[in-house]
Amino acid sequence: MHKLQVKLLDPRLGNSIPLPQYATAGSAGLDLRACLDAPMTLHPGDTQLIRTGMAIYIEDPSLAAVILPRSGLGHKHGIVLGNLVGLIDSDYQGELMVSCWNRGQQSFTIDVGERLAQLVLVPVVQAAFEVVDEFVATERGTGGFGHSGRG
Ligand SMILES: O=c1ccn([C@H]2C[C@H](O)[C@@H](COP(=O)(O)OP(=O)(O)OP(=O)(O)O)O2)c(=O)[nH]1
Ligand SMILES: [Mg+2]
């Protein structure tokens, strides 16, 4: 298991609000919880930046983290991310924030400590551009955006 430095920025984290954890042995994501002072209602179309009460320092530039929606909240309640996906840089040391967007038709109340989104650690390959005049030809070439047809 990879070690990840974490700062607890809210005294409730690890006490009344559990620290994010993998729900099962095979889980890819750590559920991030809403560090709210009181329940917050998101009306249809609303977006709010919600604190998680914690900061991580990934440190290794060959890693990053992504914040993804939880499928149940997104599918059943329309609660997804205002930025669709959050990308956490390896050198970011600030509080992890979740942009919460109610894309649904009904208001939704986020409870204090509710699991809102999930954090997934991912490998990253940083690239250095090498400018060329021509690429080695491929079968696809410049075809894209449905070039290979449907079905
Ligand atoms: O959902 C998110 C997305 C980003 N971040 C933090 C970590 C990330 O490293 C930093 C910057 O994110 P990003 O590069 O996506 O945003 P930007 O708009 O390009 O801001 P910046 O100019 O600070 O890079 O904000 C979050 O806490 N939550
Ligand atoms: Mg950026």
State the pLDDT at residue 151. Answer: 86
Q: What residue's CA is closest to ligand 1, atom 3?
A: 86
pLDDT at 30 (0 to 100): 97
Whether 100 lines ligand 1, by a CB cut-off of 6 Å, is: no
pLDDT digits (tens, 9 = 90+) for 71-91: 999 999 999 999 999 999 999
Contact 77, 108 (CB under 8 A): yes
Distance of alpha carbon 62 from the chain centroid: 18
Q: Return the SS3 of 48.
A: strand
Exposed, middle or buried: residue 34 (CB in 10 Å: 0-12, 13-18, 19+)? Answer: buried
pLDDT in tens, 81-120: 999 999 999 999 999 999 999 999 999 999 999 999 999 9
Distance CA 129, CA 127 (A): 6
pLDDT on residue 60: 98
- Tell me if 83 CB under 6 Å of ligand 1: yes
**Neighbouring C-alpha atoms within 13 Å toward the C-beta of 83:** 14
The 10s digit of each residue's pLDDT in 1-57 is 999 999 999 999 999 999 999 999 999 999 999 999 999 999 999 999 999 999 999
Which of the four pLDDT bands, split at 50, 70 and 90, describes residue 150? confident
Higher pLDDT, 150 or 76: 76
To the question of whether residue 148 is assigned a binding role by annotation, the answer is no
Q: How large is the ipTM?
A: 0.98
